[in-house]
Chains A and B, each alone.
Chain A
Amino acid sequence: MNERMSHIPLQHILIFSTALFFIGMFGMFTRKNLITLLMSVELMLNSVNINLVAFNKYLFPQQTGGIFLALFTIIIAAAEAAIAIAIFIYLYRTHHSIHVDDASEMKN
């Protein structure tokens, strides 16, 4: 456990992760490019990871469950990114665009 790190209170880390989450959410609502949307999703996932690691370190320093859960999330996020990019490529082939509003055949 690093001495320097322990000077940072938990609240600061939580404020940071919340800010990261809402930045991701803002990105999801405002951007139209699918790759940007994927990046926003990654931001939100990472804010969660930060939460998990922080809680693990500050509340249960003797255990490692939070860290492993964060690792799982990273792995799943990697897999999800691979699938998402595959979808984008396929979408580009059919629609010649990766703009979200262009893929709306099934509306109404």
Chain B
Amino acid sequence: MLNLIILCIILLLPLSNFLVLGLASRSIQQPLSGYWASFTMFLSASLSIGVAYTYFIEKGTVNGVFPPLELLRYPWLVFGKNLSIDISIVLDPLTVIMLVVVTFVAAMVHFFSLGYMKDDKRYTTYYAFLGLFTFSMLGLILAGNLFQVYIFWELVGVSSFLLIGYYFTQPAAVAAAKKAFIVTRFADFGFLIGILIISFYGESLDIATLIERLSNPASSQSILIQSAGWLGITALSWGLAMIFIGGAGKSAMFPLHIWLPDAMEGPTPVSALIHAATMVVAGVYLVARLFPVFELSQSIMCLITYTGLFSAFFAAIIACTQTDIKRILAYSTMSQIGYMMFSLGIASHEDHYLGYIGSLFHLFTHAFFKSLLFLCAGAVIHLIHSNELSKMGGLRKWMPITHVAFLIACLAISGIPPFAGFFSKEEILLASYHANKFVFGIALLTSGITAFYMFRLYYSVFWNKDQHLDTHHGEGTGTMIISLIILGFLSVGAGWFPFSTWLYKGNEPMHTHIDLLFSIAPVAFSLIGIKIAHSLYRKPSDAPQNLTLAWGKFYTAAYRKFYIDEIYKWLTQNMVFNFFGKLFNWIDKNIIDGIVNGVGTGVSSIYFSIRGMQSGKLQDYLLYFFGGIALGMIYFFYIWK
């Protein structure tokens, strides 16, 4: 069950979907393509679960750790004796867990889309794009080589671009796709530089080799990378900071988060898959993958911690003021990824890497409840045909199953026991409590705000004002409901998985336990948030309106997303376009064009000055000839001697 062929099937099924459905998108008709794609994804997901079962249960641990399995290593580009790029597939606990999460959520989203996208003209193309995305994401996870990671990293970016711009007839979707691509591409440039720095000093691109060399303080590579530096910062820190920029771009960390809310222009199931559960956590995955290297630089760990913490808090505040259901969820995603990031940042040896485990556990549970939230939002949008909260309200009567699923997901994200989010958030908060009290305080506050805005959303959509809809169908189609139910169960149950016995650092599994006394504070904060949301949004009232007026300028600033987009716009308009653009334009027009035109005009002016010599009169040529000979003779006889 645990061999290369199985993994290749898991990896190549989505690719075959992309190729077959993409090439034959006109000849394969509507229901067939969706059913086929969903079937292959379910196959892929069940194989992944089988792989996980074999890896964790049947094979078990060797000397207290799950051994990494290298299933494939093929030298692809050989540059010399020391440097080659090997295509490799490596299985370790992190990979296996991500494999299950990605294939499972992808299968759910494929299945959900059967109903959601059924009226769409480019239905088959949509499934082809989903296949490309799933393939790229799986490739990213399985890669055992930094360069391979980078290739799939870019492929993921491309498929995200294609899916955000899926409704390409709407200008907003086109703009959002371009924005997402440019911002993440800008960050990926940092990632590439980081890879180059790290692999230059580490003399390898293989992740396991790099970790082994760099984390051994006696190795020559480690000594070199710690001693070399620029501007007072070591080469190691530079390389890791650049890699983190790549991760921050993909994971929508401040200040590279601006693309994520706009990316909600894509179809809602796509938001659930790419912009909630899988692609946006690629940054967290990358940091976790290279964690033993990141751990070596305290300053970069600090950078990760505070970037994550600020993003978590900042996004939570913005989410309280937005009125677009998907944008609220997007900011909530950003906030939760911020949690995962700072949790990685504070993870240390002292408390057995609790932060590391908590972060990845949160990644695991978040994938389920956040994709559930997005799919519920998709079902609501399917009914209302609008994203605006003001058009919604009282929907609990019309769609009871979606209502319950959404409530479960909200409770999970708010960290109310016994739902999934409680367990993972608990570990993160416990780790931050031990590591840094300031971080803990902000995290606690953020979790309260999270509960508030999630329940603001919940009450605004499902309670608040009653409205009468003219339709009878209410709930979405059968496939939509089934995927909501499955994800709903997982949002309850995912927290009960013995996650820390599978994924840990060190030599023995860590048995996390719930410290009931410690849980009082986070749960109380969440309950307060829920209570405030309940009193404000449970019934239609003027209270929210009055409250926004009372907050005044601060509310406006948060509603306008703290003017980050405007700042970027100002920077690009004034700095990039006006300053650099004008400068480069001047250089181009005057210097570059000047050289090119100068060559032309120079040659033609020489031509005009000497064309008169070619008079067409034989005697003139004779004169030149004899004149030349005479001059030559004068030279040889009198000057040269």
Residue ranges of A at the interface with B (Cβ–Cβ < 8 Å) = 25, 28-29, 37, 100-101, 104-108
**B626 near A100 (CB under 8 angstroms)?**
no
Partner of B623, one of A29, A104, A105: A29
- Distance in angstroms between the alpha carbons of A106 and B617 in the assembled complex: 10
Q: Which residue from chain B places its CB closest to the CB of A34 in the assembled complex?
A: B618
Q: B residues 581-618 with Cβ under 8 Å of A?
A: 611-612, 614-618
- Does B619 count as interface, using CB distance less than 8 angstroms? yes
Contact B626 A101 (CB under 8 A): no
Determine which of A25, A104, A106, A107 lies in contact with B626 in the assembled complex, contact meaning CB atoms within 8 Å: A25
Cβ-defined contact, B619 with A108, below 8 A: no
What are 7 A-B contacts with C-beta separation under 8 Å?
Answer: A29-B622, A29-B623, A100-B618, A101-B616, A101-B618, A107-B614, A108-B612
A104 closest partner in B (C-beta): B616
Docked CA distance A9–B615 (Å): 44
Interface residues in B60-83 by Cβ distance below 8 A to A read none
**The 8 nearest A-B residue pairs measured at CB:** A107-B616, A104-B616, A100-B618, A108-B611, A108-B614, A107-B614, A29-B619, A107-B615
Q: Which residue of B lies closest to A107 (CB)?
A: B616
Q: How far is the CA of A100 from the CA of B617 in the complex (A)?
A: 7
Closest to B613 in A: A108
Q: Which residue of B lies closest to A101 (CB)?
A: B617
Residues of B within 8 A of A37 (CB): 618
Given contacts A29-B623, A107-B617, 13 further A-B contacts (CB under 8 A): A25-B626, A28-B619, A37-B618, A100-B618, A101-B616, A101-B617, A101-B618, A104-B615, A106-B614, A107-B615, A107-B616, A108-B615, A108-B616
| B623–A106 CB distance below 8 A | no
Least CB distance from A22 to B in Å reads: 11
Complex interface: chain B residues within 8 A of A104 (CB):
615-617
Q: What B residues does A101 contact at CB under 8 A?
A: 616-618
Q: In the complex, A100→B612 CA distance in Å?
A: 18
Binding site secondary structure of chain A: helix
Instruction: Find the A residue at minimum CB distance from B619.
Output: A29
Question: For B614, what are the chain A residues with a Cβ–Cβ distance below 8 Å?
Answer: 106-108
| B619: chain A residues within 8 A (beta carbon) | 28-29, 100
Q: Considering only CB atoms, which chain B residue lies closest to A105 in the complex?
A: B616
Scoring B614, B617, B618, B626 by chain A CB atoms within 10 A of each residue's CB, the highest score goes to B618
A28 to B615, CA, bound (A): 17
Please tell me which one of the listed residues B611, B616, B617, B622 contacts residue A28 in the complex, with CB atoms under 8 A apart: B622
User: How far apart are B615's CB and chain A's nearest CB, in angstroms?
Assistant: 6
A106 to B614, CA, bound (A): 8
For A28, give the chain B residue with the smallest CB separation: B622
Cα(A105)–Cα(B615), bound, Å: 10
- Of chain A, the residue at the smallest CB distance from B612 is A108
Nearest residue (CB) in A for B607 is A108
Which of chain B's residues have a CB closer than 8 A to the CB of A28?
619, 622
Shortest C-beta distance, B173 to chain A (Å), equals 62
Minimum Cβ distance to chain B for residue A41 (Å): 10
What's the least CB distance linking A5 to chain B, in Å?
A: 31
Tell me the minimal C-beta distance from B616 to chain A in angstroms: 3
Task: Give Cα A100 to B626, complex, Å.
Answer: 18
Q: Give CA–CA (A37, B614) in the complex, Å.
A: 20
Q: Which residues, 130 to 146 on B, are CB-close (under 8 Å) to A?
A: none
Bound-state CA distance A104–B615 (Å) is 8
Closest to B623 in A: A29
In Å, the complex CA distance between A105 and B614 comes to 11
Complex Cα spacing A79 to B619, Å: 23
Q: Which residue of B lies closest to A30 (CB)?
A: B619
Task: With both chains docked as a complex, state the minimum distance between the C-beta of B72 and any C-beta of chain A, in angstroms.
Answer: 71
How many Å from the CB of B544 to the closest CB on chain A?
88
Residues of A within 8 A of B617 (CB): 100-101, 104, 107
Q: A25 CB to closest chain B CB, in angstroms?
A: 7
Contacts of A108 in B (CB 8 A): 611-612, 614-616
User: For residue B625, which residue of chain A has the nearest CB?
Assistant: A28
Which residues on the A side are within 8 Å of B615 (C-beta)?
A: 104, 107-108
Tell me the minimal C-beta distance from B487 to chain A in angstroms.
85
A108–B613 alpha-carbon span in the complex (Å): 7
B residues within 8 A CB of A107? Answer: 614-617
CB distance from B630 to the nearest CB of A (A): 11
Shortest Cβ distance from residue B112 to the other chain A in the assembled complex, whole angstroms: 79
Nearest CB of B to A81, in Å: 17
Q: Once bound together, how far apart are the Cα atoms of A20 and B611, in whole Å?
A: 34
Q: Nearest Cβ in chain A — how far from B618, in angstroms? A: 4
Query: How far is B84's CA from A10's CA once the two chains are assembled, in angstroms?
Result: 86
Chain A residues contacting B616 (CB-CB under 8 Å) are: 101, 104-108
**B626 contacts across to A, CB distance below 8 A:** 25
Interface flags, B218-261, vs A, CB<8A=1, else 0: 00000000000000000000000000000000000000000000
From residue A53, how far is it (CB to closest CB) to chain B in Å? 23
Separation of A29 and B618 alpha carbons in the complex (Å)? 9
How many angstroms from the CA of A100 to the CA of B620 in the assembled complex? 11
Contacts of A29 in B (CB 8 A): 619, 622-623
Q: Which residues of B contact A105 (CB under 8 A)?
A: 616
Q: Which of B611, B614, B619 has the most CB of A within 10 A?
A: B619
Instruction: Report A101 CB to chain B, min CB distance, Å.
Output: 6
Report how far A37 CA is from B615 CA in the complex, Å: 18
Per the bound structure, the CA–CA distance linking A25 and B622 in Å amounts to 9
Q: What is the minimal beta-carbon distance from B614 to any residue of chain A, in angstroms? A: 5
Q: How far is the CB of A93 from chain B (nearest CB, A)?
A: 19
Residues of A within 8 A of B612 (CB): 108
A106 contact set on B, CB distance < 8 A: 614, 616
Cα separation A95 to B104 with both chains bound (whole Å): 91
Q: Considering the complex, give the chain B residue whose CB is closest to the CB of A37.
A: B618
CB of B237 to closest CB in A, whole Å: 69
In the bound assembly, the distance between CA atoms of A107 and B611 in angstroms comes to 8
Residue numbers in B under 8 Å from A25 (CB-CB): 626
Q: Within the complex, what minimum Cβ distance (angstroms) separates B212 from chain A?
A: 76
Q: How far is the CB of B631 from chain A (nearest CB, A)?
A: 16
List chain A residues, Cβ under 8 A from B623: 29
| Identity of the chain B residue whose Cβ is nearest the Cβ of A102 in the assembled complex | B616
Interface centre among A25, A104, A106 (most CB of B within 10 A): A104
